[in-house]
Structure 1
Amino acid sequence: MKLAILAVGHKPPAWVAQGCAEYLKRMPRELPLAIVEIKPETRGSKSREQLLAAEKARLLAALNGYGRVVVLDERGDDLSTLRLAERLQGWMRAGGATAFVIGGADGIDEDLKLQADEAIRLSSLTLPHALARLILCEQLYRATSVVRQHPYHREG
């Protein structure tokens, strides 16, 4: 099974890229994690709907080959690390590739959210997209460590 984070946005700051690279490197061979950057739509005089529609088209093209789509959304399921690990374990049993979608500055197209298999949120706080990317990388590594009974995550 493979995992990917599809993130709409420009190149993140170096510290985010370095942090993500560290967690990507730590992922086990049987559960590789990749980050796919999706070019955001140029604003100009476009409406929010036009921006989201253009980004949706890019995301759909990048989602080809992923059997499971999980969007990050402020109204998504609020998971603990252990609950994320349980979901990850279920996805691993079911097989197939899983893509996590982080929208751009204007969010994610509503139709794409409805088409997704699941929606989760990382926090009740508003996070910068680059930081959300890093937190998701870390949490996927942490959930993997729980599944593999590695001591990285300590509960209690």
Structure 2
Amino acid sequence: MKLILAAVGKLGNTPENTLTRDYLSRATLSGRPLGLGPAELMEIEPKKTAKSQDSTLNKAREAEAIRAALGEGVCLITCDERGELLTSRQIAQRVDKMKDSGERKLAFLIGGADGLDAELVKSARFSLAFGPQTWPHALVRLMLAEQMYRATTILGGSPYHRD
């Protein structure tokens, strides 16, 4: 099952982007023997325009861009402050269950500054929260990439993870 971290916006050459890509590379290497991977980063251009201060409209435009970039047949997990608080092991178990159910592509979504479109969130398999704090998008990408890597190591039986 292909793993995608899809995020609205581009980070450029930053330490967070370098670490995000490193964790996705690690997830690819540790996930391949399990049928998980490759793990890749997909950056989607924000759709906010100077003419539109309507966050609902901006989120709907970004949702269209996300759907177009991901294509058909992708299982979605959204990052949302109202999502579920899951342990690393619970995330790994859900990823494994999706793989075993025949999903071919799994995308973890991070929205733009206004968040994700409500309809996109509703269409997701589930929503994941990183707690009640507000996190910079660059750090959310990094934390999510690390959790994708951690999921592959947990499923591979690596002692990397500690309960």
- Normalising to structure 1: TM-score of the pair? 0.92
Asked if structure 1 preserves the Cα contact closer than 8 Å seen for 2:77 and 2:127, the reply is yes
Cα distance per residue 1:91-135 (max 9 Å; x no partner)? 121132111110000001111111222111122211111110100
Are 1:141 and 2:149 counterparts?
yes
Cα separation, 1, equivalents of 2:16 and 2:76: 23
Query: Residue type matched to 1:48 in 2?
Result: S
From 93, 96, 99, the counterpart of 1:92: 99
Are 1:42 and 2:48 counterparts?
yes
Partner of 1:111: 119
Are 1:65 and 2:63 counterparts?
no
Q: Once superposed, what is the RMSD of the aligned Cα atoms?
A: 1.4
Unpaired runs of 5+ residues, structure 2, are none
Asked if structure 1 preserves the Cα contact closer than 8 Å seen for 2:9 and 2:46, the reply is yes
Unpaired runs of 5+ residues, structure 1, are none
Q: How big is the shift at 1:13?
A: 5.2
Detail structure 1 runs of 4+ shifted over 6 Å in the superposition: none
3-state SS of 1:57 partner: helix
How many residue pairs are counted as aligned between the two chains? 155
Cα separation, 1, equivalents of 2:64 and 2:105: 20
Partner of 1:122: 130
Asked if structure 2 preserves the Cα contact closer than 8 Å seen for 1:65 and 1:97, the reply is no
3-state SS of 2:158 partner: coil
Asked if structure 1 preserves the Cα contact closer than 8 Å seen for 2:7 and 2:111, the reply is yes
Cα separation, 1, equivalents of 2:58 and 2:74: 25
Are 1:15 and 2:23 counterparts?
no
Cα separation, 2, equivalents of 1:66 and 1:125: 32
- Normalising to structure 2: TM-score of the pair? 0.88
Q: How big is the shift at 1:33?
A: 0.8
